[in-house]
Amino acid sequence: MQSVIYFDICAIAILSVGILTFYMKKNIPNLHNKIFILMMWLILGASVCNLVRGMGLNGILELDEWMLQMVVYAYLIFYCAIPVLFLFYNLVITERIYKIRRQVFGYVLLVPAVIMYIIIAINPYSNILFSVAEDGQFTIGPGMMYVYIQSVFYYIVAVIYIQLYNGLFNLYKRISLYAFAIIIMLSSAIQIFEPGLLVESFGRALSMVVLYLGIQSPEEMMDKEFGIYNKNSFIEKAKINFKSKNNFNIIVVSIDDWEFLQKTFGVDALDKLMSQFVGEVKRIGAENGMTMYRISENEFYLLSFSMRREMRHVAEMIVKKCDKVWVCGEVEIPVDVDVCLIKCPEDFDNVDDILQCSDYIAKEIHEGGSRVLYAKDINGSYVRRRNAIRHAVHKAIRNNTLQVYYQPIYSTKKKAILSAEALVRLKDDELGYIPPDEFIPIAESDGSIVRIGNFVLESVCNFMMENNLRERGIEFIEINVSVVECMKQDMVERIENIVKKYNLEPGQINLEVTETASSNSADVMNENMQNLVERGIAFSLDDYGSGYSNINYIINLPFHLIKMDKGIVWSAFDNEKAGTVLESSVSMIQKLNLKIVAEGVETKEQMEALTAMGCEYLQGYYFSKPLPEKEFLEYLDSAHKRNIP
């Protein structure tokens, strides 16, 4: 019978390209990558053997009895290892391998494969699998059926495993794993019933392509700059291990005073520093069986399931090697390293707590003066408080119990209340009143700030429409915009649609952007701001002078109002130099044809001095504290009847 060898040729071509692509890309030498590339090589080897055997049977190659036997033996050795590796590949990517290898069941799984290789070893004496006559006649023995049974056994166990632990895979990965097993078993079945149609190798090659695209493609899980895993990869890895109830260790490594280093030494020098720093930490981690992840610009995790040394020893090695003055070209950069040791699930039983704890860890080390800290020594009340606040935020959003308060803004020229700032407030049944500076950062960290932003904007627009605030003298309301909202692609469309929904003029809404938001996302902010300004919505730069000042933000971004932070206002009345700085800032902003809102006005003296400086608007407790809707309306009515201030 002539064999159709074209499928083998296609398989070899596909696998060769796949192997070349794998080695050309940055791949971390972890266990699942090693198993994957080993499977690629084994399938390539099996495909080559199958092709050579087919060419021999077709008479294209002259193979004597001994050569044909060696080709078939090599094929069987490669072929029988593939399903075993696929099963263990599943165990590795779900982290179950760390438990299986300590259980009797893990060794039981190897029994069919061991039996298979024993059968292959004794075949020269038993001919149970195949035999080759002196004239080159190839005969399949009864034991060959066990080869297929053994393969099907491992693929079925793998499919059952995928189904049992489907919660550990996302849908795309689950489909890829199912497809791998199904394609291979289907192609094997075709070749069993059509021995001359050598389609099995092509099926295996196609399966590897599916696996590569569905699971192995590393882009979304890699930090391309340093060739290590990124935050997304850590989150997925940690979630899988928590679900699998595995024990694992984390060493948090962060560079202290990062903002200071950025401002002092510049981007180029820090790029050189990070290249050296990451290389050193990565080397120490690798020597101790730990995988490195980049969590943020200056923060890294080392993850391990079985420490080769004590965690404390590894942490001290990192401090010793990294806590020094780094020479980066002609620049010398002193670096302090914050390190914390975390054992999971003993210290934390979810990913959010690990990530949220990082900032706190750095603060504790810095304030306490120590360089290495155990997470178990951290006051757990901090993490519990954050979790409780997060739940309170989600509950308030779900039950629509957030409130919007309004703090009046006074016009020094018209001597009247012409505006107000909308401020979101949260009061929980269990926690009571939660300050914005506590719940806003938490809402930003988990993305719920976008829903809060929508709620505030909707509430303000509805309030303005229902009470016709323009007739009450309110020209516009200021609404704070978070960093997260600034980064949203749909920011312009979302805000425009809400304003139109309540039949308001765009000029009745003024969006406040903090200096930190501007510095974190200047390019994105500029695009969104320009689009909204073109639609008639104005912007204020909030917290000017709070410590992140950069005149470039005022020059390059289309702000209409500049809000002087209360800190600089208060300092101006206690310190002569601070007063000079405030006067100079007001004068500069006026020359740029921008209007000024001075915050934190609490006394008549402050009001008169700021008015004399030329501040167009004033805001503070001298006029009123933030008020709920009903009280704000009453305040407006009374303000019109009396002389303010």
* pTM for the structure as a whole: 0.50
Q: Express each pLDDT in 165-178 by its tens digit.
A: 776 666 777 888 88
Residue 521 in this model has a pLDDT that exceeds 70: no
For residue 577, name the pLDDT band (cuts at 50, 70, 90).
confident
Q: What angle do CA 424, 600, 454 make, to 5 degrees?
A: 20
The mean pLDDT value for 545-551 works out to: 58
SS3 content of the chain, % helix, strand, coil (to 5): 60, 15, 25
- Residues 248, 308: Cα–Cα separation, whole Å: 13
Distance of alpha carbon 588 from the chain centroid: 41
Averaged pLDDT score across all residues of the chain: 84
Residues in the chain, total: 645
DSSP 527-558: HHHHHHHHTT-EEEEEEETSS---HHHHHHS-
- Widest CA span in the chain: 117
Residue 355 in this model has a pLDDT that exceeds 70: yes
- Residues 87, 155: Cα–Cα separation, whole Å: 7
Question: Contact 243/350 with Cβ under 8 angstroms?
Answer: no
**pLDDT score recorded for residue 467:** 93
Q: Which of 4-13, 100-109, 420-429 has the lowest mean pLDDT?
A: 100-109
SS3 292: strand
Domain locations in the chain as residue ranges:
6-217, 225-378, 386-641
Residue 306: phi, psi to the nearest 5? -150, 105
Question: Contact 418/474 with Cβ under 8 angstroms?
Answer: yes
SS3 293: strand
Burial of 630 (0-12, 13-18, 19+ CB in 10 A): exposed
Residue owning tokens 């994957």: 36
- Residues 151, 182: Cα–Cα separation, whole Å: 12
According to CATH, the topology of domain 6-217 is Rhopdopsin 7-helix transmembrane proteins (1.20.1070)
Which residues in 508-625 belong to E strands, given as ranges?
509-514, 538-544, 561-564, 595-598, 617-619
DSSP 80-129: HHHHHHHHHHHHHHTTTHHHHTTSHHHHHTTHHHHHHHHHHHHHHHH-SS
Q: What angle do CA 609, 611, 617 make, to 5 degrees?
A: 130
Q: Which of 152-161, 218-227, 494-503 has the lowest mean pLDDT?
A: 218-227
**pLDDT score recorded for residue 412:** 92
- Residues 49, 466: Cα–Cα separation, whole Å: 80
**pLDDT score recorded for residue 421:** 95
For residue 455, name the pLDDT band (cuts at 50, 70, 90).
very high
Q: Express each pLDDT in 286-299 by its tens digit.
A: 888 888 999 888 88
Residue owning tokens 């001298």: 622
Residue 519 in this model has a pLDDT that exceeds 60: no
Q: Which of 28-37, 371-380, 421-430, 529-538 has the lowest mean pLDDT?
A: 371-380
Q: Is 414 or 162 the better-scoring residue by pLDDT? A: 414
The mean pLDDT value for 405-423 works out to: 94
Q: Which amino acid is at 479?
A: I
Superfamily per CATH, domain 386-641? EAL domain (3.20.20.450)
The mean pLDDT value for 336-365 works out to: 77
| 378 Cβ contact partners less than 8 Å away, ≥ 6 residues apart | 357, 360, 361, 364
Q: Which of 247-261, 291-305, 499-513 has the lowest mean pLDDT?
A: 247-261
Share of the chain above pLDDT 90, in %: 32
The mean pLDDT value for 315-341 works out to: 86
Residue owning tokens 């009453």: 634
Residue 180 in this model has a pLDDT that exceeds 60: yes
**Mapped to the 3 state alphabet, what secondary structure does 330-390 carry?**
CEEEECCEEEEEEEECCCCCCHHHHHHHHHHHHHHHHHHCCCEEEHHHCCHHHHHHHHHHH
Within 13 Å of residue 614, how many CA atoms lie on the same side as its CB?
A: 14
For residue 369, name the pLDDT band (cuts at 50, 70, 90).
very low
**pLDDT score recorded for residue 397:** 93
The mean pLDDT value for 437-442 works out to: 86
The mean pLDDT value for 236-240 works out to: 82
Question: Contact 157/87 with Cβ under 8 angstroms?
Answer: yes
Superfamily per CATH, domain 225-378? Reverse transcriptase/Diguanylate cyclase domain (3.30.70.270)
The mean pLDDT value for 64-82 works out to: 88
**pLDDT score recorded for residue 364:** 47
Q: Express each pLDDT in 210-235 by its tens digit.
A: 888 877 665 667 787 888 888 888 88
SS3 597: strand
The CA–CA distances, whole Å, from 409 to 253, 419, 473, 597, 621 equal 45, 5, 11, 8, 10
Q: What angle do CA 166, 171, 172 make, to 5 degrees?
A: 125
Residue owning tokens 């850590």: 234
The mean pLDDT value for 549-567 works out to: 80
